[in-house]
Amino acid sequence: MFITIICCILSISYSCSDDDKTNNTIYISQLEAKRGEVQYILDNSEYGTVLGTYPEKSKSILETAIADLNMFIDKLVKNENTNQEEVNVALIKADTALKEFKNSIMVNVSEEERSLQRLKNTVIELETLLTTSVYGDEAGTYPQESKSILTNVIGELKTLIDNVVLGQVQLIDEMATEAIRRANDAIDSFQDTKHKEEVIYNLYVDGNKGGYIDFGYKEEFANFGTNQHAAFTIELWVRIDEYCNNPYEDNSTYLSACNDSPWGGWRVYSRYHNGDNNDLIRASITYSDNGNIKLWEPNYGAPRLGYQKWMHFAIVYAEDGLPNEDQDERFRMYYNGERKGESIRLGQDVRHWAYNYANYKNAKIPMTAFCRLKENGDRMEYFSGSIKYMRIWKSAKTSDEIKKSSQGDNAVNPNDPNLVCAWDFVASSKDLKQEEVKIKDITGRHTATLKGAFSWKPIDY
């Protein structure tokens, strides 16, 4: 009986992305792994003219495949451009060569020899996977301890093969099939341990189908200091996928801690969605003028701001004067880190014009995102899209601080005494619980409840 080593081709699917163009380091790694597999089969197969061996001429099938892979790798080392689709073609071509090599084996042996050969093939498959896999802690690698999953089953198979060769075990087809089943289970278990690529998700809320975020009622969501000395900053990233589809409403509310009739508190939103300079991003800020409740509604106009793309939006209000400004300037609006739109400038002789949240406090309406609520709980002025890195401060942020946030520096100190609340609404695949509806904020003091239609979408959305 000839002891023969033949190849067993791993079933591998290769992903292809049209956007993946020039990451040569990744491509080289994929090609080198396949080259190692082909080289291992070439070096460890048995050649000859008897049953169960491979013809010497079959070596050229694998040697040609290795040469082709080397040529491709050399091009990439020289920084020639390629893409994942071209790499996949090369990998599939190498797999085809492996299959052609396998089919060249000398056949027509006894049932026991065929069963024995199946076991040997499985050992080669396991050893190939063991030796060509990359181990480490990074995405796409295997933990070092996962090796034992394969080495244990390889040891069991080799013991069975030795016992058959020595005549101590009579091998039948069912016995070989069961041993191979256990080996395949081990392969599955090994592959399940691969460190997954971490995917980052943004929260998507379909306000037009009833979705919104309920933050509950907290006085501190609208109470930002003593009378005539209030100061606050509202900032967030927002993406509008679909404006409010109620034909009687032309506002799409990002975030609201307010009520009307009579007005109290604040909100931020867009108004008009015509695709021209009449489109607005706007704030509503309630103030008291000698006891008369009124609204400031500063805005910035440009076509479809934040429509199907992310924008950073912030407002800053300070009754003692904005940072680095004279005391007369109380309000600024920011679009993608730049000052935009109207300011609110009041002389010190009208300090009786003061921010007012009393009616919001009396109504105790929950703060909401993707809509605002009437006192009866009905939604209005909703939209469908996403919000992330939402922060409320009971202090006035500087222009430089707003600029940093718009450039991606969204980290906050949860112990900052001026931080009222903060939600990222960004989750990694390691931590994401798709069905979770209650999300704690960064401070740990508040809980947002996701209501109605929502989902999590990959960060490139």
pLDDT per position as a tens digit, 127-157: 999 999 999 988 789 999 999 999 999 999 9
> Which residue has better confidence, 78 or 213?
213
18 has pLDDT over 60: no
Rounded mean pLDDT, 35-50 = 87
| Contact in structure between 66 and 98 (CB atoms under 8 Å) | no
Looking at residue 80, its amino acid is E
Lowest mean pLDDT among 12-16, 217-221, 224-228, 369-373: 12-16
Burial annotation 37-46 (CB, 10 A radius, 16+ → b, else e): bbbbbbeebe
* CA triple 323-277-406, angle to 5 deg: 40
> Which residue has better confidence, 140 or 14?
140
Task: State the pLDDT at residue 22.
Answer: 53
Task: State the pLDDT at residue 19.
Answer: 44
Domain 201-458 fold is Jelly Rolls (2.60.120)
Give the SS3 label for residue 142. Answer: strand
Q: How far, in Å, CA of 372 to CA of 255, rounded?
A: 7
Task: State the pLDDT at residue 291.
Answer: 85
212 has pLDDT over 50: yes
Rounded mean pLDDT, 358-376 = 95
Lowest mean pLDDT among 25-39, 252-266, 341-355: 341-355
- Percent of the chain at pLDDT > 90 equals 69
Structure tokens, 172: 């039948």
Task: State the pLDDT at residue 53.
Answer: 83
Lowest mean pLDDT among 72-76, 238-242, 344-348: 344-348
For 81-111, the DSSP string reads ---HHHHHHHHHHHHHHHHHHHTTS-----H
Task: State the pLDDT at residue 54.
Answer: 84
- Percent of the chain at pLDDT > 70 equals 93
455 has pLDDT over 80: yes
**Model confidence at 14, in pLDDT bands (50, 70, 90)?**
very low
Rounded mean pLDDT, 175-184 = 94
Burial class from Cβ neighbours inside 10 Å (0-12, 13-18, 19+) for residue 431 reads: exposed
> Which residue has better confidence, 64 or 434?
64
Task: State the pLDDT at residue 121.
Answer: 86
Task: State the pLDDT at residue 256.
Answer: 98
Task: State the pLDDT at residue 236.
Answer: 98
Task: State the pLDDT at residue 108.
Answer: 61
Rounded mean pLDDT, 241-254 = 93
Q: How far, in Å, CA of 126 to CA of 183, rounded?
A: 8
Q: How far, in Å, are 16, 47, 207, 386, 450 from residue 453 at the CA level?
A: 31, 63, 7, 12, 8
Where exactly does CATH 2.60.120.200 map onto the chain? 201-458
| Strand partners of residue 288 | 293, 354
**Model confidence at 56, in pLDDT bands (50, 70, 90)?**
confident
